[in-house]
Structure 1
Amino acid sequence: MSVFTAFEAVAARQPDRLALQIKETTGYRRLTYGVAARQARTLAAALLRAGVVPGDRIALVSENRPEWTVAYFAVTAAGATAVPLDVQLSDAEVANVLRHAGCRMAIASGKQAPRLLGVDAGGPVPLRVVDLDTEVSGGRTLSFQAIVRESGEPAAFPLPDVKEDVLASILYTSGTTGTPKGVMLSHSNFLANARSILDFGLVNAEDNLLALLPLHHAFPFMVQLILLYSGAHLTFLASLKAPDLLACMQETGVTLLVGVPQLFYMLHKGIFDEIGRRPLPLRFLMQRLLRLSGALRPLGINLGRIVFAPVHRKFGGRIHFMASGGARLDPVIARDFLALGFRMTEGYGLTETAPVVCFNPLGRMRPGSVGVPLPGVEVKILKPDAEGVGEIAIRGPNVMQGYYQNSAATAEVMRDGWFLSGDLGVLSADGYLTITGRAKEVIVLSSGKNIYPEEVEEPYLKSPYIEEICLIPQASDRAGAAVEGLLALVLPDLDYFRAQGMTNVFETIRWDMENVGRDLPPYKRPTGLVIVKEGFPRTRLGKIQRHLVQQQFQAERAREAGPTEAPPPEAEAALLGDEVGRRVLGYLREATQKPAVRLDDNLELDLGMDSLARVEMLVALEGMFDVKIPDEAAAECFTVREVIERLQTLRGVPVGPPGPSRRRGWGEILTGSTPAETQAMVEASSRPSASVITAISRGMCAALFRSVYRLRVEGLQHVPSHGPLILVANHCSFFDAFIVAAALPSRTSQQVFYLGFEWFFRHPLLARWGRGVRVIPVDMDTYLVRALQASAVVLQQGRILCVFPEGERSVDGRVRPFRKGVGILVKELKVPVLPAYISGSFETWPRGQSLPRIHRIGVRFGPVA
């Protein structure tokens, strides 16, 4: 039996049943089993008539579509060997593979056929191409449409008897630009793998798989075989946009979703972002129901299917099975999908094993593990360390024949019938395999500690601020000093930053990574952070190509140390040549001391402008162009281009020759006219009712911290009863503002105002309480001018302003560097400062801890300076 005859047998039993369909602009195009089998047999006969002989290698270069499947079956039915190629390969890479495989013919889509006709395949005669889309044959091109249109009865086309040991595919996994490495897989390899999986009864004839992964990879190819051998059908979708994907799932009733971890990360993020937008009580309830549902799943109770029915309906309402492969799936993602009511499994395999080696049996899924070996497949761990981790070796009927024309590479990975995978893992006592990393990617520290990058990256990927992260070894910092550890290269989710009105990208990501790092051993915490602007190179199955990441990073560092950039392209030059563009560019060069500034430079990441520098830029541009720039522009303009475009949209921007510009300083901003909105924020907290609420809240805080936390206060003789005064304190916990309130004398506390995060006081009840205890809700990072102007109003009224100048809670209890905002107030308003040091709050409620614990707290006030 061959791969094709196994399919043909299913088609004979159900010729009119749907096998393959694709959504196109005009609707769905469909092929039944009978039509697909007939077209495959017809094309196989045409290939033989065109001179193909059993054993020939035929390239298959096409996007996912029904004809891909038909063409593959046709090649193997003719006794030839299919060489599927990635459509994203360059012409040079395609030519390299064609020459190595010795292909004399190719089958390609209409998009790919023209370039294949121009490729030098290195054979004695030019490459011939079967075009899946053209209507007429001619020259070196054969028309697939004409072949299947003009065919007679399939029985009239005798095909060779293809044995199971015949080579079915050569799958190229690497070396497309150097020495290619083509994996030789026989019909027997594929059929053995398919039979082992089919025996588990995972799929039935009623199933519909949404085929998203490129079929030239072994993993999606095997998934396709399993579906077709079960009598089910596949749905192809040209677009991977979320709305198109969801629409297709709803329209076709998709029941199976198979993908790489990236797909499930995307779906998981969409689901939980939606939950995060719900009101707090509903969000709390959903989180508790999710936890309950997850606890009941091992008992065979699927509460999530009922409770989270809207989630299931969003995916079409019929999905009963999700499978992840191709890379490691975060166990938290798997647990959450199980708790939502989906059946979820994860497997493991390689191209060299045709491809599946292990998978989690349904109902016995173990998140974090890739499951147990398939029947007939053996797995062992070579040279396990003290924790049982070693290289994974595999033996079975699915293991490849070797690498095509590369006996040396074959000898490196085959030992007495065992395939050495290069992956590291550990086997549990009951046979579950857990992958810990790739042997070549393990980062070994001088201390002997092994770090598996994927494992460490997983918790950081949960941050809403991080789009992608890649950890590489760090040998030195930017100054060249020796540093051993992990360097985190992070691609920020700038869309999320925009939606939140946040601009301080580096500090926010650093802050969030510190929170995550608290739960990791010290040697696994990144010692450096670099923000990148482009995604990392990946395989088509989503794995980060770490060797390329390191090469690109080193090349970028070399460019930074080299000469300045080349002149901008014409499109950029036109905008920068505009009067507004030239003047903005001139200011930025002077302000940042960077000779090369480009339109798409990020103000923070490329030009090093923090929130203060950004505000100073907008203030300077206001004077330069004699316009009023809204405060929110500081939070909305991320790039040089956006600054210029914002200025150009404001009325009254001059485009003539630049005149003398007037630049406002911070003194004028703070002592000049204050916007009514800012003034109103302060006045709302100055009403008589605030005195009552402050007194009650302060009394409650004092009772709590003096009785439970044994609050000790020193230096009260330094505390004046009124302002103007800035009280500065260190910041370690959520308790700090309440501790200060409890420590201050009652009379003084009536004079104290606080700055608080606006998002925390959005609820009406919290907003009313916040006004009562004199909290001004404004985010200093996002609206720095507004925050400083409100602070100035408080101080000008002779009040006391309490601030935490670090701007964030300390991750280790030590005082962090101060932000610049407080310094501006002190310098411009000539206001005295009262220092306070809070002890014990870090031990009581540090960052990353859900609930506080009991520990003595102290406050020491110093002399006014």
Structure 2
Amino acid sequence: MSVTGKNIARHLRSAAIDQPDALATKSPLSVSPSGAVTHAHSTFLELDRESDAAARLFQDAGISQGTRTLLAVKPGHDLIVGMFGLIKLGAIPVAIDPGMGWATYLKCVKHSQPTAVVGIRRATLLSRFPLAAFASIRNRITIGTAHWINRLARQMSANPFPISEVQADDLAAILFTSGSTGTPKGVRYTHGMFEAQIRLIRETYGVQSGEVDMPMLPLFALFNPALGMTTVTPLLDPARPASANPAPIVSTLLAEKVTNSFGSPAIWSRITEYCQRKGIKLPSLRRLLIAGAPVPDGLLEQLRTIAPQCKIHTPYGATECLPVTSIESEELLGPLRQLTLSGRGTCVGRPVAGVEIRVIHETESALNDYTEAKMCAPGEVGEIIATGPSVTQEYDNLPTATRLAKIREGNRLWHRMGDLGSLDADGRLFFLGRKVEKVRHAGGDLYTEAVEPTFRAHPWVARCA
């Protein structure tokens, strides 16, 4: 049974009606010395009612439709409850990656001007410090404590919380970019864009209701109620994936029969090395999405040995536009490998359904209209642009950055990815790296992904940047 409306939170209500007893979340409680993890379970009905209760508590605390709310919660069940509680209420969650560093984090908070914070105790205490970043905050709600759990239990009801009525182009959340190659920017996500992403993920990767997902990137867990997947939270600090202990993660992958996962090359390198060293296979994995950085061919080959039945995808996109293209490891490890090693760049595949890409002549100037963009010929290196239903319209309170990043074409908007690459005659996109990382040289421009793959292929090279 579908719940009507445009609010993205309706998908959780639909899941609670259609499969009330199916498991929605599994969150780690404890880990044994051997790496075995004990989990707390919640069904879709329980998750829906908990987020209803959270919405009531947020409302009682003064949060209402349109309230910008800094969400500072650890990955897992509480993050999902908090996010859906806010979105049901019509409030605007502001999500900032704490891994970007404290000073940068504070700049992002100050820029987004939240008037409320929902977070763990440490976050709400820090928000009381007399810092300019927190000057706009009026309401603070601490979640995850025994007191919060008791208050939540008292608000639980069989009567559903009325989900806020919104339009598809209404603001749903503000998600900050990582800032890995520049200043992080708040990206304005509408309910319609979230809806488009859910549809693209389901159609592109054939996700089925009843699957079990372990998202290594926390916010991807928020798509799972709409996809009908169980979310298993890994014991992992997403800000430091390269330092993760793979033992409890692998133990959980096996014990929970995880079928799907989305993560970075850094974390999957740790998992793969551990599995190979211990002689462990991952037979339940059907689908693996690896993104966030270039994926070495060696990692893809190793993954195919520990999960031979698994389809390994390397999607390409950005916070402002995701997914854009996608490709499977089987194609990457074929003839395309030699093209990459010859300096052509890393192939990131063809556009997903509904998305169009172009490569235009590189420029630092704003392009106010699509007619101002000069198209590159097949094989010619230029700037990558994309358009489609999941392309965000603007940055938050950054009109200059928005003007530089967007190109208007009638009713359509193209996003300038900030990346360089080329298209071949078959419509495949070859990624050559970030514009800001290009090295100008008298003998010709140098691109990161024209150079680094050769070094990454050397058996004595562990990492290359």
TM-score normalised over the length of structure 1: 0.45
**Distance (whole Å) between structure 2 residues aligned to residue 115 and residue 352 of structure 1:** 29
**Which residue of 203, 224, 228 corresponds with 2:225?**
228
Change over 3 Å in CA distance of 1:344–1:36 after alignment to 2? same
- The structure with the largest alpha-carbon Rg is 1
**Distance (whole Å) between structure 1 residues aligned to residue 170 and residue 122 of structure 2:** 31
Per the alignment, residue 418 of structure 2 pairs with 422
Per the alignment, residue 395 of structure 2 pairs with 403
Change over 3 Å in CA distance of 1:438–1:250 after alignment to 2? same
Within 5 Å, give how 1:207-246 maps onto structure 2. Answer: 207-213=211-217, 215=218, 221=219, 223-239=220-236, 240-246=244-250
Within 5 Å, give how 1:39-50 maps onto structure 2. Answer: 39-50=50-61
**Distance (whole Å) between structure 1 residues aligned to residue 423 and residue 415 of structure 2:** 17
Deviation string 1:269-316 (CA, Å, 9 cap, x unpaired) is 456667xxxxxxxxxxxxxxxxxxxxxxxxxxxxxxxxxxx652xx3x
2:349 maps to 1:352: no
Matched-pair contact (CA < 8 Å) for 2:378–2:424: no
SS at match of 2:62: coil
Change over 3 Å in CA distance of 1:65–1:267 after alignment to 2? closer
Highest RCO, 1 vs 2 (Cα 8 Å, sep ≥ 6) = 2
Per the alignment, residue 443 of structure 2 pairs with 447
**Which residue of 5, 8, 11 corresponds with 2:10?**
5
Deviation of residue 135 (structure 1)?
Answer: 3.0
**Distance (whole Å) between structure 2 residues aligned to residue 333 and residue 362 of structure 1:** 10
SS at match of 1:169: strand
SS at match of 2:127: helix
Within 5 Å, give how 1:721-740 maps onto structure 2. Answer: none
Q: Which amino acid is the alignment partner of residue 229 of structure 2?
A: A
**Distance (whole Å) between structure 1 residues aligned to residue 130 and residue 387 of structure 2:** 39
Per the alignment, residue 241 of structure 2 pairs with none
Within 5 Å, give how 1:760-839 maps onto structure 2. Answer: none
Deviation of residue 153 (structure 1)?
Answer: 2.1
**Which residue of 186, 210, 214 corresponds with 1:206?**
210
Change over 3 Å in CA distance of 1:119–1:334 after alignment to 2? farther
**Distance (whole Å) between structure 2 residues aligned to residue 360 and residue 179 of structure 1:** 29
Within 5 Å, give how 1:453-464 maps onto structure 2. Answer: 453-463=448-458
**Distance (whole Å) between structure 2 residues aligned to residue 236 and residue 126 of structure 1:** 30
Deviation of residue 93 (structure 1)?
Answer: 3.8
Within 5 Å, give how 1:553-568 maps onto structure 2. Answer: none
CA RMSD of aligned residues (A): 2.8
- Percent identity between matched residues is 23
**Which residue of 189, 195, 199 corresponds with 2:199?**
195
Deviation of residue 20 (structure 1)?
Answer: 0.8
Change over 3 Å in CA distance of 1:15–1:119 after alignment to 2? farther
SS at match of 2:27: strand
Change over 3 Å in CA distance of 1:350–1:89 after alignment to 2? closer
Per the alignment, residue 183 of structure 1 pairs with 187
SS at match of 2:294: coil
Deviation of residue 378 (structure 1)?
Answer: 1.1
Q: Which amino acid is the alignment partner of residue 109 of structure 2?
A: L
**Which residue of 19, 22, 25 corresponds with 2:27?**
22
Matched-pair contact (CA < 8 Å) for 1:44–1:159: no
SS at match of 2:97: coil
**Distance (whole Å) between structure 2 residues aligned to residue 463 and residue 199 of structure 1:** 37
2:64 maps to 1:53: yes
**Distance (whole Å) between structure 2 residues aligned to residue 106 and residue 13 of structure 1:** 32
Deviation of residue 49 (structure 1)?
Answer: 2.6
**Which residue of 427, 430, 433 corresponds with 1:434?**
430
Matched-pair contact (CA < 8 Å) for 2:68–2:113: yes
How many aligned positions are there?
415
SS at match of 2:295: coil
Change over 3 Å in CA distance of 1:339–1:433 after alignment to 2? farther
Q: Which amino acid is the alignment partner of residue 234 of structure 2?
A: L
Matched-pair contact (CA < 8 Å) for 1:194–1:225: no
SS at match of 1:150: helix
Within 5 Å, give how 1:537-556 maps onto structure 2. Answer: none
Q: Which amino acid is the alignment partner of residue 199 of structure 1?
A: E
**Distance (whole Å) between structure 2 residues aligned to residue 53 and residue 202 of structure 1:** 37
Q: Which amino acid is the alignment partner of residue 422 of structure 1?
A: G
Within 5 Å, give how 1:239-318 maps onto structure 2. Answer: 239=236, 240-270=244-274, 311-312=280-281, 315=282, 317-318=283-284
Deviation of residue 59 (structure 1)?
Answer: 0.7
Change over 3 Å in CA distance of 1:65–1:117 after alignment to 2? farther
Matched-pair contact (CA < 8 Å) for 2:9–2:163: no
Change over 3 Å in CA distance of 1:468–1:329 after alignment to 2? closer
SS at match of 1:237: coil
Matched-pair contact (CA < 8 Å) for 2:10–2:163: no
**Distance (whole Å) between structure 2 residues aligned to residue 380 and residue 459 of structure 1:** 27
**Which residue of 390, 396, 404 corresponds with 1:412?**
404
Change over 3 Å in CA distance of 1:231–1:457 after alignment to 2? same
Change over 3 Å in CA distance of 1:123–1:319 after alignment to 2? closer
**Distance (whole Å) between structure 1 residues aligned to residue 458 and residue 138 of structure 2:** 50
Deviation of residue 179 (structure 1)?
Answer: 7.2
**Distance (whole Å) between structure 1 residues aligned to residue 84 and residue 211 of structure 2:** 21
Per the alignment, residue 511 of structure 1 pairs with none
**Distance (whole Å) between structure 2 residues aligned to residue 428 and residue 386 of structure 1:** 5
Q: Which amino acid is the alignment partner of residue 189 of structure 1?
A: M
**Distance (whole Å) between structure 2 residues aligned to residue 457 and residue 269 of structure 1:** 21
Q: Which amino acid is the alignment partner of residue 18 of structure 1?
A: L
**Distance (whole Å) between structure 1 residues aligned to residue 130 and residue 225 of structure 2:** 34
SS at match of 2:159: helix
Per the alignment, residue 149 of structure 1 pairs with 153
Matched-pair contact (CA < 8 Å) for 1:170–1:183: yes
**Distance (whole Å) between structure 1 residues aligned to residue 65 and residue 132 of structure 2:** 20
SS at match of 2:320: helix
Deviation string 1:38-81 (CA, Å, 9 cap, x unpaired) is 11122122222322232111011122111101111111111111
Q: Which amino acid is the alignment partner of residue 440 of structure 1?
A: V
**Distance (whole Å) between structure 2 residues aligned to residue 71 and residue 45 of structure 1:** 11
**Which stretch of the first structure deviates more once superposed, 257-266 or 116-125?**
116-125
Deviation of residue 429 (structure 1)?
Answer: 2.5
**Which residue of 288, 292, 308 corresponds with 1:326?**
292
Which structure is higher in helix share? 1
**Distance (whole Å) between structure 1 residues aligned to residue 269 and residue 318 of structure 2:** 22
Change over 3 Å in CA distance of 1:124–1:212 after alignment to 2? closer
Deviation of residue 247 (structure 1)?
Answer: 1.4
Per the alignment, residue 560 of structure 1 pairs with none
**Distance (whole Å) between structure 1 residues aligned to residue 73 and residue 383 of structure 2:** 35
Per the alignment, residue 124 of structure 2 pairs with 113
**Distance (whole Å) between structure 1 residues aligned to residue 331 and residue 104 of structure 2:** 43
Structure 1 regions of 5+ residues with no counterpart? 137-142, 216-220, 275-309, 471-865
Deviation of residue 361 (structure 1)?
Answer: 6.2
2:351 maps to 1:373: yes
Within 5 Å, give how 1:364-763 maps onto structure 2. Answer: 368-383=346-361, 384=376, 387-416=379-408, 417-448=413-444, 450-463=445-458, 465-470=460-465
SS at match of 1:82: strand
Deviation string 1:245-273 (CA, Å, 9 cap, x unpaired) is 22111221112232112233334545666
Change over 3 Å in CA distance of 1:202–1:386 after alignment to 2? closer
Q: Which amino acid is the alignment partner of residue 166 of structure 1?
A: D
**Distance (whole Å) between structure 2 residues aligned to residue 157 and residue 224 of structure 1:** 22
Per the alignment, residue 34 of structure 1 pairs with 45
TM-score normalised over the length of structure 2: 0.81
Which structure is higher in strand share? 2
SS at match of 2:379: coil
Deviation string 1:831-859 (CA, Å, 9 cap, x unpaired) is xxxxxxxxxxxxxxxxxxxxxxxxxxxxx
